[in-house]
A and B are shown apart, each in its own frame.
Chain A
Amino acid sequence: MVSKAMCYHMSSKDGQPASASAFKAAPAVVPITDVPPGARVRHFDELSDRTQQALTTALPSGHLDINPESTNLSRGDVVVFTEYVRIH
């Protein structure tokens, strides 16, 4: 049998915010394919109802209409949903 080579792509495809000023912008939800090293990863089921609602609403537009710091999410967190997304 052939062992399938597995590797983790540890750099973020969407990348970090382009500059520190990006952190001042409204939080956004960005789909990613690779989990950045050190990122906190949360499953959708770990989020509060309010955060789940905001996240599912945000996904088409990408705009997260909540303050991540007031929920159980922070900028940089990765959430496992139907795709992997990052709070940017």
Chain B
Amino acid sequence: MREIAIHINPEYKRRVMSQSYVIVGDGIAGASAAETLREEDPEADITILTDEGEALYNRILIKEFAKGKLPEAPISIHDESWYDDRDVDLELNTLVTNIDPDAHTVTAHDGTEYEYDKLLLAIGGTPTQLPVENSDAEGIHHFWTFQDARNIKEHMEQAENSVVIGAGLLGIDLAAITAAQDVEGKYLMRGKAWWRYALSQDGAEIIHNALRERNVEPVFDSGVDHFEVDDEDRVTTAVDPNGDHYDADFVGIAIGLNFNTEILQGTDIEYDNGVYVDEYMRTNHDDIFAAGDITEFHDLILGERAQNGAWGSAKEQGTIAAKNMVDYGTEEFRWVSSYSITHFDFPFLSFGHPTLGDDHVEAKYSDTEWRRLAIKDGKIVGGVLIGDLSPQTKYKKLMREQVDISGQKDTLVKQDFELEDLEGAAAEQ
């Protein structure tokens, strides 16, 4: 019998045979990827698997819910009809426990197997546990999911005194929640300043004062050695390494995230703290991509690997990943992220990588106005603005375009800085 070889044009094949996309995670990265995939590939099969029991919600608004300032409704972004309307199969309460890159399958906790042509990992992180005695006692909260926010709000409405641990961007949300709920608070910090890796003492003091005005007392050179509990295993006291006792029937801990890389163990997908991806959000496997908090991406601006947990960055990564899942090489991820704090009378915004760099410049303008820029190899790589956000687009432009600002640090922090103030090549941006 004569064999007939049939060659199918790959582009034709791509068009006539629907692709199967599986997305693990329904946060903003996963959901924005699904939306883009549907736009880019109308015939595709798209499945989202999430271990959470609810569809996409606004993670950066859950603090407002916990404060008691917003009801639940505006926090929800997608109801299930959003997925139905786009013919996206959403599987809630589905924890992925195994990935088989060779077989192109993922397996859920109940043994269900999902086949994919292209896989997106948008699996985020889980709050880091504090490794001290009684850290799992009743009344000790972490703050990451909407359900965490519900639990915090319910508890906070009955609390009398609180302790917050974690001198960073998530910890201050917990401190602000205690303030908004009118619960006396102690904010235990290991160093002498809040977010000491990005702020100097001058900048941090503005935050400290704002906390004190709201009845939250920063405690420096502190932390937690252990918690004391009552007979019902409820937390009663935080004891710091100095032996000082702080009564607290509510404790909030935000000391960072452990990225959910467990399911990568046993695969040859490259990861360290997060999943390694290139500027197209692709892992070392051609058919496996990643987006959001979980990625250690090649930052084209910084020139090295970076990780970023900001909402806008995660959304953009999801979009970029989806475009490249459909047609690899379509678009690079090139982004200057930013993150704001809106708890106080003055605004606060960090952008880029404010904790990195080999140099910096800062200036204080008033009791509530301060700026610091992080510089690496003569270029801005990040910064923090307190009080006046008006220069942010200028600084971001200089960072995005990698403008050499060597020798002009003082000009950059003039209070009324304009791009035209720069000299030489920097002025030509």
Binding site for B on A (CB under 8 A): 1-4, 6, 8, 10, 35, 37, 39-41, 43-46, 49-50, 52-53, 56-57, 78, 80-82, 84
CB distance from B126 to the nearest CB of A (A): 22
Once the chains are docked, how many angstroms separate the CA of A1 from the CA of B156? 11
List of B residues within 8 angstroms of A44 by Cβ: 340, 342, 347
Residue B158 at the chain A interface, CB threshold 8 Å: yes
Residue B311 at the chain A interface, CB threshold 8 Å: yes
List of A residues within 8 angstroms of B71 by Cβ: 8, 10, 35
A4-B181, A41-B58 are known; give 4 further A-B pairs, CB within 8 A.
Answer: A35-B71, A41-B74, A43-B311, A45-B310
A80 and B181 form a contact (CB under 8 A): no
From 174 to 218 in chain B, residues with beta carbon under 8 angstroms from any chain A beta carbon are 181-182
B160 and A41 form a contact (CB under 8 A): no
Q: Which of B16-24, B321-329, B390-398 lines the interface with chain A?
A: B390-398
Residue B125 at the chain A interface, CB threshold 8 Å: no
A46 and B312 form a contact (CB under 8 A): yes
List of B residues within 8 angstroms of A46 by Cβ: 58, 60, 311-312
CB distance from A76 to the nearest CB of B (A): 12
Once the chains are docked, how many angstroms separate the CA of A1 from the CA of B340? 35
A56 and B158 form a contact (CB under 8 A): no
A49 and B392 form a contact (CB under 8 A): yes
Once the chains are docked, how many angstroms separate the CA of A82 from the CA of B61? 13
Interface residues in B, total, Cβ within 8 A = 34
Encode contact with A along B343-355: 1 for CB under 8 Å, 0 otherwise: 0111100000000
Residue B338 at the chain A interface, CB threshold 8 Å: yes
Selected A-B contacts with CB under 8 Å, 20 pairs: A3-B158, A4-B157, A4-B182, A39-B74, A41-B70, A41-B75, A43-B61, A43-B342, A44-B340, A45-B338, A45-B339, A45-B340, A46-B60, A49-B393, A80-B64, A80-B342, A81-B342, A82-B344, A82-B345, A84-B69
List of A residues within 8 angstroms of B346 by Cβ: 82
List of B residues within 8 angstroms of A43 by Cβ: 58, 60-61, 64, 311, 342
Q: A45-B312, A82-B347 known; A53 and B70 CB under 8 Å?
A: no
CB distance from A63 to the nearest CB of B (A): 16
Q: Which residue of B lies closest to A39 (CB)?
A: B74
Q: A6-B68, A39-B74 known; A56 and B347 CB under 8 Å?
A: yes
List of A residues within 8 angstroms of B182 by Cβ: 4
CB distance from B346 to the nearest CB of A (A): 7
